[in-house]
Structure 1
Amino acid sequence: MTRRVLILAHTGREESMIAALEACVQLHANNIVPVMYADELADMTGYLGVSDVSMEILDRDVTLADIELVMVLGGDGTILRAAELVRDHDLPLLGVNLGHVGFLAESERADLIQTVDWVVRREYSVEERMTLDVKVRVKGKVVTHTWALNEVALEKGNRERMIEVVTEVDGRPLSSFGCDGVVMATPTGSTAYAFSAGGPVVWPEVEALLMVPISAHALFAKPLVVAPTSTLAVEVLTRNGAYGVIWCDGRRTVDLLPGARIEVTRSSKPVKLARTQQSPFSERLVRKFELPVQGWRGPSAEETPPPTTQLPIIRTPKPKSQLEGPPTGPPPLVPDLTVTNEPNNLEGVAPLHD
């Protein structure tokens, strides 16, 4: 059976087109047919010259049903575009980072030849990343139904004023405030827009939904992490007339008039990412953000775990003497200190004057 790999590249960049040509050459040399879109192939050959590599055109020679793997050459934006293209097909994406941070990419440009070799030998695994199902309602009716891999971001549409919103979790209102927007994200998107807005970094293996307010004018407007079965919602209030706009992965956008409502749940269609390196997410986090780890010693290697350390238990202190019972005998006499309004008739005492 003929193996085919779809090459998606950011053809607006020279480095990306050169990398795409290198990948096509190595795949062809290993009896794997490289496949490209017609316009991207035209951009690449028009800029780099005609190649001797035999390639097929997607939607002309083959369809996505004939593809084994999609190799994406670019940054996270290119990978998000690829996820959109294969949304209705069961295809894994293998990203080679040619951008800046590239959290979704599996390898870097310098590892391109090694990455293609892993694909040739099928030395890769596939993991699923949860996505978001996004609905926009106006007067109770669904007017827009879309999805997102990273996040759906509600932003203010008027630069001169904040947008007034009320947030909701599982059908119950949580808080209302003015803000620049609200981000609802997946763990995959926790290192993207949600991270820039002050949200937490969530490991991809964690199944959860995030809600992160952007520059909120409120006492309680902190990032929230809720169960994957929860429903997040944000309503655009009408009290100041400001409208909003939502962006799904920075690619799909919808304008929101006051009174609109966004509902976000976990989607039943995940995105599949191919993994060639089984390094932990913490290692990727350190590498992408260039975090300082000097002085780290790591866990000590012990043959058998030590027993639980017996620590002293702090007990509640006892009183120095036993408490005595209630006093016995007649109560002590208490002088009457009541002040009356009667005139002072005591002899020899001068009356008081103001």
Structure 2
Amino acid sequence: MTRRVLIVTHGGRPQAVAAMSEAVDELERAGFEVALHDDDLAETFGDEMAAARAREGVSESEIVMVLGGDGTILRAAELTHGTDVPLLGVNLGHVGFLAESERENLHDAVRRVAAREYVVEERSVVDVVVHRPGEDEPVTGWALNEATVEKAQRDRMIEVAVAVDDRPVSSFGCDGVVIATATGSTAHAFSAGGPVLWPDVDAVLLVPLSAHALFSRPLVIGPRSEYTIDVLDRSPLPGVLTCDGRRSIDLPVGSRVQVRRGTDPLRFARLVHAPFSDRLVSKFNLPVIGWREAADDAAARRAARSAADEHDKEG
């Protein structure tokens, strides 16, 4: 039976074109049938990818290999969401937090896919329901990293109220709020001062953006709870909801957004079994040696040099 891989990349970048050519050659030599996808995917809010999935033959693919950065992986996730097909990211970008392999390891990644030397890890998403005034039916969407409610214009703040499980928690003026998964905790939410959640933490995080309030701390809820964010009637500005930085919908004053852990997780192929701590240190280049250890090392080197000088004088 022929094994099939779908490659998603950014064809406008020379580095991506070169990596794609190499990956196709490697995969075909390993006996795979290879399909390519270079079109932009969903740009409207929701999950309207059923036709694209069928057209690209996603369900017939063993794996979707993504050549690019986190943005390209988020684009490819629109194809695999709702299926059992895993994503394998090969980083051609900067941080590449969602990627499993680097460009220089492309050959080894193909070899391990061919040998089925990978494990599949599930990552939770958030499901989003939007109720807008004057509309009878809500609009639904989802996000792997985060759903962000932000002000639609720059000049003033948006006024929102936050509730958990239909119980009010706080209201404030702000630039917006970020509701993130554990996977997305290292993206927009991290930049806004939120905590880093390990990927296996089954929780949803909320981080206010520049809130004008005494209580504007990040919140973390469990898998059976739900956030509600209302754009208050007194808000001087409407809002906009954006999922994963890609799919947006306008939020008139009076809109309500409900966010909870999603029912259909995304699947990622993992080649390396290193703990998340190692990935965090590597991707963010964290200084794991503190100033105390560095000072002790410097003192030890000075003492060693002094001892060597004394030895030379005595000799």
| TM superposition score category, shorter chain reference | 0.7 to 0.9
Match of 2:85 among 91, 101, 113: 91
- What is aligned with 1:239? 234
- What is aligned with 2:172? 177
- What is aligned with 1:21? 21
**Residues 36-86 of structure 1 deviation map (CA, whole Å, 9 limit, x = unaligned):** 13769xxxxxxxxxxxxxxxxx967x7222210000000011001111012
Structure 2 vs 1, CA of residues 38 and 276 (structure 1 numbering), >3 Å: closer, same or farther? Answer: closer
Deviates more, 1:29-38 or 1:114-123: 29-38
Q: In the TM superposition, what is the alpha-carbon distance from 1:294 to its structure 2 partner?
A: 2.3
- What is aligned with 2:309? none
Report 1:124-203 matches (<5 A). 124-139=118-133, 141-203=136-198
CA distance in 2, matches of 1:281, 1:164: 37
**Could you tell me whether the CA contact under 8 Å between 1:233 and 1:261 is conserved in 2?**
yes
CA distance in 2, matches of 1:64, 1:234: 35
Say yes or no: does 1:118 pair with 2:123.
no
Identity value in percent: 56
Q: Between Structure 1 and Structure 2, whose CA radius of gyration is higher?
A: 1
CA distance in 1, matches of 2:59, 2:88: 17
- What is aligned with 1:325? none
What residue identity is the alignment partner of 1:201? V
Q: Gapped runs of 5+ residues in structure 2?
A: 41-52, 294-315
**TM-score (norm: length of structure 1):** 0.76
Deviates more, 1:120-129 or 1:26-35: 26-35
Between the two proteins, the alignment pairs up a number of residues equal to 279
- What is aligned with 1:82? 76
**Residues 161-196 of structure 1 deviation map (CA, whole Å, 9 limit, x = unaligned):** 000001001110011100000000100000000001
Q: In the TM superposition, what is the alpha-carbon distance from 1:143 to its structure 2 partner?
A: 3.0
Q: In the TM superposition, what is the alpha-carbon distance from 1:228 to its structure 2 partner?
A: 1.2
**Could you tell me whether the CA contact under 8 Å between 1:71 and 1:93 is conserved in 2?**
yes
Higher RCO (C-alpha under 8 Å, 6+ residues apart): 2
Match of 1:208 among 176, 198, 203: 203
CA distance in 2, matches of 1:230, 1:289: 31
**Could you tell me whether the CA contact under 8 Å between 1:136 and 1:142 is conserved in 2?**
no
**Which has a greater percent of helix?**
2
Match of 1:258 among 253, 256, 264: 253
CA distance in 2, matches of 1:141, 1:217: 33
- What is aligned with 2:304? none
**Residues 101-140 of structure 1 deviation map (CA, whole Å, 9 limit, x = unaligned):** 1110001111111111110110000010001110111248
CA distance in 2, matches of 1:37, 1:103: 22
Q: Gapped runs of 5+ residues in structure 1?
A: 41-57, 298-354
Question: SS of the counterpart of 1:294?
Answer: coil
**Could you tell me whether the CA contact under 8 Å between 2:90 and 2:102 is conserved in 1?**
yes
**TM-score (norm: length of structure 2):** 0.85
What residue identity is the alignment partner of 2:238? Y
What residue identity is the alignment partner of 2:70? D
**Residues 296-327 of structure 1 deviation map (CA, whole Å, 9 limit, x = unaligned):** 99xxxxxxxxxxxxxxxxxxxxxxxxxxxxxx
**Could you tell me whether the CA contact under 8 Å between 1:135 and 1:142 is conserved in 2?**
no
- What is aligned with 2:48? none
Say yes or no: does 1:37 pair with 2:16.
no
Name the Cα RMSD after superposition. 1.8
Match of 1:106 among 100, 105, 110: 100
